[in-house]
Amino acid sequence: MRNGRQALSALILFTVLLGATMAAPTPQPADTSATVARGKYLVVIAGCNDCHTSGWRESDGNVPVSAWLTGSNVGFRSASGTSYPTNLRLEFQITSEDNWTKAVLTRADHSMMTWQDLRGLTPADRHAVYVFIRSLGPAGTPTLPDVRPWDEPLTPYVDLREQQPQH
List, for residues 23-76, the tens digit of each pLDDT value: 444 344 566 899 999 999 999 999 999 999 999 999 999 999 999 999 999 999
Report how far apart, in Å, the C-alpha atoms of 136 and of each of 45, 63, 68, 80, 131 are.
18, 14, 8, 32, 9
- Statement: residue 146 has pLDDT above 90: yes
Tell me which amino acid residue 30 is.
A
Average pLDDT score over the chain: 84
**Ramachandran angles phi, psi of 159, nearest 5°:** -90, 115
Whose CA is closest to 104, among 119, 84, 114?
119
Region for 137 from its dihedrals, namely left if φ exceeds 0, alpha if ψ lies in -120 to 50, beta otherwise: left
The whole-angstrom separation of Cα 75 and Cα 89 is: 18
Q: Among residues of the chain, what percentage have pLDDT more than 70?
A: 80
pLDDT at residue 163, as a whole number: 86
pLDDT band at 150 (very low <50, low <70, confident <90, very high): very high
- Count CB atoms within 10 A of the CB of residue 147: 18
